[in-house]
Amino acid sequence: MTTAVEFFCGIGGLHYGLEYAQPDAKVVQSFDTNTVANNVYFHNFKQKTSTKGIDILKSKDIKEANLWLLSPPCQPYTSGGKRLDTKDNRTAGLLNLIKLLPEVKPEYFFLENVPNFEVSESRRLLVTQLIDLNYKVDEFLVSPVSIGIPNDRKRYYLAAKLTESKHEYDLENTTFHTNLDKYCPNFTRSSLKLADYIDPEADFSIYQVQPKDIRKRTNFVFGNNTLIQMLFNLQKPYEKCDNEELIASKPRFFTPTEIRKLHYFPDSFGFPKDTTLQQNTYIQDYNSIALILGQLGQTSELERFDLNLLDLEIKQILIGLPLSDRFIVKLCKHMRPEIHGKEMHYEFRQWICNSYMNAIRYALDSWYIPDGLDFENACRQGSLPVVNILIDDDRVDPVGDNNLAFIKAAKYGHTDIVERLLQDARINPSDKDNEALKEAIAGGHVDIIKLLVNDPRVDRQLAISYAHQHNRLDILISSCE
């Protein structure tokens, strides 16, 4: 029987795909940090998702399974973003899993992402690791249209199988499969008629685009499979069109049921009763929430939208989107004092990852109460400006949880942060049996080792003993030169 661990599981799209391919397969563990998505996952699979950061997982944290399923964040690669690739902190989880592969070696490995991933450094690191470990790798660039679903959103897929010998693979001249007939010979194709996916029971009036929102725009483009016209030709394109003609076609957004069908989710899929319509639609399709705001195109276009037209729930969802630092501040000011809820801790930590300094300062000065996890996250991510802000905040205990923030900074090689923390009298680098030194030695961070062994509070003899025990004396000697 196939057993799987699902990373970045979201609401379980790959889980359903596995069940469709192998009905007797079992997902034994799942990971994601989005609490709303995790509630939806539990509602459908009756399985609790771990919220432990994938970027800090160790092999011992991952249950034994013969298949890994991954759907890592697409923002580092998407055409609508900055395409920072491995320089984007959101790739940390994937990069950590790549490092763990030699220790775990699942029999099968499957990853899904957006086009552009195939030309990324992340993909090069992943495929190189898989080939070095004797995996046979196949890569795909395909759209649901190829299997008969009228949802033309091309995606990148990687499928790998562990073998006994190494396979030659040309990373620079890879042939990406674009036809699935060879791999799915018995697949029953669906209908390509969009009309077959219309929700017959929906009240379409609540999904209609308001004429005033259409008239605001001079270039209203249908795209991303998120709007349809209720009158005239469903396939009719509208670009740089007469807005009055567009209004007459009565455009509306897809309903959650229609989005579910277009993504081939089963009829049994549902949402918890406390999930709002906006969350419901957003979770199923990222672009749909953008269109609920009356915008089409890149996410950055949302920044031009009139915030007075949005309700609180949509504003809260907007906070989590990859918008500019300046706009996030504007949004927070506009919705104060309504901001509340545990989800804001998650969003605040995302701002740390993105170095949204203005948003962080505003939040701390107005409504946000930081905690030890925020400080730990800043140290782990290597964000010195955020560390400098939080360490001077009386509400933050920099030595909480047995000096964990300092240990994380040493483990991930953030020399500037280790140096800054050592200037604070509250930080004892020898806490937790010199764990920070051990992590620095294990990671080969010479500059940090040098800082620590020259601190009188650190046990040098322990450093020598630990380095010898783990065959890292060369690192220790280099740090002492």
Q: How far, in Å, CA of 329 to CA of 362, rounded?
A: 7
Q: Is 250 within 8 Å of 208 (Cβ atoms)?
A: yes
Residue in 135, 117, 345, 306 with CA at minimum distance from that of residue 213:
306
- Omega within 30 of 0 (cis) for the link into 115: no
Whether 74 is catalytic is: yes
Is 155 strand, coil or helix?
strand
Q: Please spell the DSSP secondary structure of 157-209, one letter per residue.
A: EEEEEE-SS-----STT---B---TTT-TT-------GGGG--TT--GGGGBP
- One-letter amino acid of 319: I
Question: Residue 264 region, left (φ>0) first, then alpha (ψ -120 to 50), else beta?
Answer: left
The H-or-E segment that residue 113 falls in is strand 108-113
Q: How far, in Å, CA of 392 to CA of 382, rounded?
A: 17
Q: Please spell the DSSP secondary structure of 359-373, one letter per residue.
A: HHHHHHHHT----HH
Q: Is 69 within 8 Å of 110 (Cβ atoms)?
A: yes
- Other CB atoms closer than 10 Å to residue 374's CB: what's the count? 24
Q: Which long-range contacts (CB under 8 A, 24 or more apart) does 447-454 make?
A: 447/415, 447/479, 448/410, 448/413, 448/415, 448/418, 449/475, 449/476, 449/479, 450/479, 450/480, 451/415, 451/418, 451/419, 451/422, 452/410, 452/418, 453/479, 453/480
Q: Is 211 within 8 Å of 247 (Cβ atoms)?
A: yes
Q: Is 289 within 8 Å of 317 (Cβ atoms)?
A: yes
Q: Is 72 within 8 Å of 94 (Cβ atoms)?
A: yes
Is 251 strand, coil or helix?
strand
**What 8-state DSSP symbol labels residue 392?**
T
| Identified catalytic residue from 74, 332, 353, 379 | 74
Q: Is 150 within 8 Å of 113 (Cβ atoms)?
A: no
Contacts of residue 444, defined as CB under 8 A and 6 or more positions apart, other chains included, come to 472, 475
* Residues labelled catalytic: 74
